[in-house]
Amino acid sequence: MIRVAMLSFWHVHANDYARQATEHPGTEIVAVWDEIAERGRKQAEERGVRFYDDLNELLAQDDIDGVIVDTPTNMHRDVMVAAAQAGKHIFTEKVVATTLKECNEILAAVEEAGVKLTVSLPRLNADYTLAVQNILREGVLGEVTLVRTRLSHNGGVPSERGQQGWLPAHFFDKELCGGGAMIDLGCHPMYLARLFLGVPDTVSANYGYVTGREVEDNAVTVLRYSNGALAVVEAGFVNRHSPFVIEVHGTEGSLLYSTHDNKLLVRSSKLGDEASKEWQVQQGLPENRPSAFHQWVSHIENGTNADENIELALDLTRLMEASNLSAGKGEPIKLADLAQ
């Protein structure tokens, strides 16, 4: 049994990960720490486990094997470096950190300690993502020229769930979060664009502030590649009915996926006359892969590493740092110029 400590319940997904840790037959929650002691103590009492108001004291416990990190994003570097140095395996909410330099420091600590790190990038494991990868691998679309990925919700605007929106107020704190809609919700379409097209040369971002808060609630980032391809990544907190969308377009065809109908459509000159004239619904999508949490447990049990997951998480931090810099400066940012 892998004994796990919850490090903070700051993030909206913390309870989801706690539930996974409780339900997984190979893990159990044994302790809680939180930067807000009252919140952490309440969570520990509800779960019947120990609470620590000192992180270092928790990390010194021999009966804790791993930690689930859901702290404010600006605490990720210090918390994860400390956890790695204490020999604890780490499962963390995205993003790993807000800058490439901090992300590299975390990864260096993890490698030196020999602990297992896995980052929650859930849409990598979805059937539609795996199906899109298969289509691209088979060259059905020809040379890919444009990717568009979008994820948006109404968490920042009045609704039946709250007059200020249903997102916690701290999700609009720039210092804690490192940004708004793009670094939080835009992570998912961003790592998918990276998965489908690779790492771009430059990043250009434009942020909107519909609700007047200090972080963006309406955002678009454009990734530009040396071969002329582009990726458009969209995110927002101010859209009530916006579906999750993937579009991939190439010289020979296109594919579309949207949660408005949960169908994956393909049209391509490489699939015969019928498929070149009409959109074809793709049947029999691949099975979903195990969740990132389940993968983390498997890596601990089997002594393997989440190499692809960590590579994509590192690139995600690079792309988010570049997006924030671009939006702030009003100019494209070369990824090669980011501080290491």
Model confidence at 81, pLDDT cuts 50, 70, 90, reads very high
Packing angle, helices 127-137 and 187-197, rounded to 10: 20
Tens digit of each residue's pLDDT (9 = 90 or more) over 175-186:
999 999 999 999
Across 202-241, the runs of DSSP E, i.e. the strands, are 202-208, 218-224, 230-236
Model confidence at 162: pLDDT above 80 = no
Specify the pLDDT at position 327: 98
pLDDT score recorded for residue 80: 98
pLDDT reported for residue 160: 80
* Banded pLDDT at 274 (limits 50, 70, 90): confident
Does the pLDDT at position 220 exceed 80? yes
For the whole model, what pTM was predicted?
Answer: 0.97
Q: How confident is the model at residue 206 (pLDDT cuts 50, 70, 90)?
A: very high
- Helices 292-302 + 14-23 axis angle, to 10: 50
Q: Is 80 exceeded by the pLDDT of residue 94?
A: yes
pLDDT given at position 99? 97
Q: What pLDDT is attached to residue 154?
A: 96
Which pLDDT does position 161 carry in this prediction? 79
DSSP state of 310: H
For the cut 80, the answer to whether the pLDDT of residue 52 exceeds it is yes
Mean pLDDT of the chain: 97
Give the model's confidence band at 19: pLDDT under 50 very low, under 70 low, under 90 confident, else very high. very high
The model's confidence at residue 93, banded by pLDDT at 50, 70 and 90, is very high
Percent of the chain with pLDDT over 90: 96
- Asked if residues 340 and 108 have their Cβ atoms less than 8 Å apart, the reply is no
Q: What is the pairing mode between strands 218-224 and 230-236?
A: antiparallel
pLDDT at position 254, please?
Answer: 98
| Cα separation, 334 vs 340, whole angstroms | 13
